[in-house]
Structure 1
Amino acid sequence: MAVIELTEGDFESTITGNDIVILDFWAPWCAPCRAFAPIFEAASENHPDVVFAKVNTEEEQALAAHFQIRSIPTLMIFREQVILFAQPGMLSAAQLEDVIGKVRELDMAQVHEEIRQQQAEQG
């Protein structure tokens, strides 16, 4: 699957309509972002069932602010609408594959239950 450009207008439907969504927060002037782009693109070809999306922080400042993006590139991974990974800095191809593998292996029923328990304790 090709990498898509994500905007504020299609953000929610993308997150809610797909099992795994990997976001790359980037900017055109960012050299590490440009270096990471081919790694991100290659991973998207290896995982056609995963949505790979780029968020241009220059054009989508509201999204960048919402997620408190302070450094780019920042990689964020959602599964079943839960943020499981958020980290600034580029990853190597091997590191990205490792993270994707770990996200796939998670027992999401257990994750959702832990979230429910935390919300109940706070509520």
Structure 2
Amino acid sequence: MPTVELTKDNILETVTGSEIVLIDFWAAWCGPCRMFGPLYEKAAERHPDIVFGKVDTEAQPELARAFQITALPTLMAVRDRTMLFSQPGALPPQALEELIEGIRAVVAQDAAEMKDTSRQAPDAAMAD
């Protein structure tokens, strides 16, 4: 899946309507951003079930302020409108893959816990 340009007009819908969203905050003048961009694009192709968003901080300064971005690039992971990860600096390819797998593990663990809780609910109700 190609990356999605995030703006003030679509960011809320994107982070609400997607299970996992990675956001790359970048700017055209940022050398590390230009080096990280192609790696991020390739990761997006390898993981079509994850939304890979990009925020051009020059075009969307209000988003940069809202997310308190102080260094570029900054990579952020969001799930259910909750920030799971935020780190300035370009990640090497292996670290990006490890981050993605870690986020998947958190999501899977949360899903398993929700499933266990829903199974236990009837038993808990009978205990009263």
CA distance in 1, matches of 2:110, 2:12: 20
The answer on whether the counterparts of 1:19 and 1:81 sit within 8 Å (CA) in structure 2 is no
CA distance in 2, matches of 1:30, 1:55: 13
Seen in structure 2, the aligned counterparts of structure 1 residues 19 and 81 have a Cα distance that, compared at 3 Å, is same
In the other structure, the counterpart of 1:114 is: none
In the other structure, the counterpart of 1:89 is: 89
The answer on whether the counterparts of 1:21 and 1:53 sit within 8 Å (CA) in structure 2 is yes
Deviation at 1:82?
1.3
The answer on whether the counterparts of 1:20 and 1:78 sit within 8 Å (CA) in structure 2 is yes
CA distance in 2, matches of 1:23, 1:52: 6
In the other structure, the counterpart of 2:36 is: 36
Deviation at 1:81?
2.0
- Matching of residues 1-123 of structure 1 within 5 Å: 1-106=1-106, 107-108=109-110
Provide, for residues 14-58 of structure 1, a one-character-per-residue CA deviation record: whole Å limited to 9, x for no partner. Answer: 000000000000000000000000110010011000000100000
Aligned residues: 110
Deviation at 1:79?
1.6
Q: What is the TM-score with the length of structure 1 in the denominator? A: 0.86
CA distance in 1, matches of 2:110, 2:75: 20
Q: Secondary structure at the match of 2:25?
A: strand
Provide, for residues 40-92 of structure 1, a one-character-per-residue CA deviation record: whole Å limited to 9, x for no partner. Answer: 00100110000001000001001000111000000000122211000000001
CA distance in 2, matches of 1:95, 1:108: 23
Q: What is the TM-score with the length of structure 2 in the denominator? A: 0.83
Q: Secondary structure at the match of 1:8?
A: coil
Q: Give the AA of the match of 1:81.
A: R
Q: Which of structure 1's runs of 4+ aligned residues deviate more than 3 A?
A: none
RMSD: 1.0
Larger Rg: 2
The answer on whether the counterparts of 1:73 and 1:90 sit within 8 Å (CA) in structure 2 is yes
In the other structure, the counterpart of 1:119 is: none
